[in-house]
Amino acid sequence: MMNRSLFLIFMFTSCMGATQDLSSHRWENRLLLILVEDTDHPVYQDQISELNRDIAGVEDRRLIIYTIKQNEFATGLKKSAWIPSDDLYTNYKQLDGEFEIILIGLDGGIKLRQAELLKTDKLFAFIDAMPMRRNELRKREDK
């Protein structure tokens, strides 16, 4: 009985730990959520290639990439371990189709949502026009 109780407590806390709280990034990083049913989807593959072409631009804008599938997610552009999660996909998926990309700003608000490939020039121009990003660039120039 004791072993079963310990097992249930362990499983409950493990499942809770697998739930990613994106608010932990607030004021530190911008997030790019790529929601996809299958990572073999051609638009997903094109999106990853597009982002990989300008890693310096991604890093300069403090972007963290999340690939989110229905029951799991991974971070970064390189293959990383999938982490179980049931809530990220259901909490953020709104558009029809197998692919959706969402930009979340430093303040935690959704800034952009679309169901097609997001070119880095459009993404970077969009971010660079944001007040907090303009402030970052101004501070950098003053140094």
| pLDDT score at 1 | 54
Q: How confident is the model at residue 20 (pLDDT cuts 50, 70, 90)?
A: low
H or E element in which residue 91 lies: helix 87-92
| pLDDT score at 48 | 98
**What structural domains and CATH numbers belong to the chain?**
2-142 (3.40.30.10)
Q: Is 139 exposed, middle or buried (0-12, 13-18, 19+ CB in 10 A)?
A: exposed
Contact assessment for residue 75 and residue 65, using Cβ atoms and an 8 Å cutoff: yes
| pLDDT score at 7 | 38
| pLDDT score at 14 | 38
| pLDDT score at 107 | 96
Radius of gyration of the chain (CA): 17
Helix (H, G, I), strand (E, B) or coil at 53: coil
Residue 67: partners with Cβ closer than 8 Å, 6 or more residues away: 34, 36, 39, 44, 73, 74, 75
| pLDDT score at 8 | 37
Beta bridge partners of 100: 35
- Interval 87-112 mean pLDDT: 97
- Interval 68-92 mean pLDDT: 94
Least confident of 1-15, 34-48, 84-98, 119-133: 1-15
- Interval 126-143 mean pLDDT: 92
CA distance 103 to 106: 10
Candidates 67, 74, 82; CA nearest to 35 is 67
41, pLDDT greater than 70: yes
- Interval 131-141 mean pLDDT: 92
CA distance 128 to 37: 30
- Interval 132-143 mean pLDDT: 90
Give the predicted TM-score (pTM) of the model.
0.84
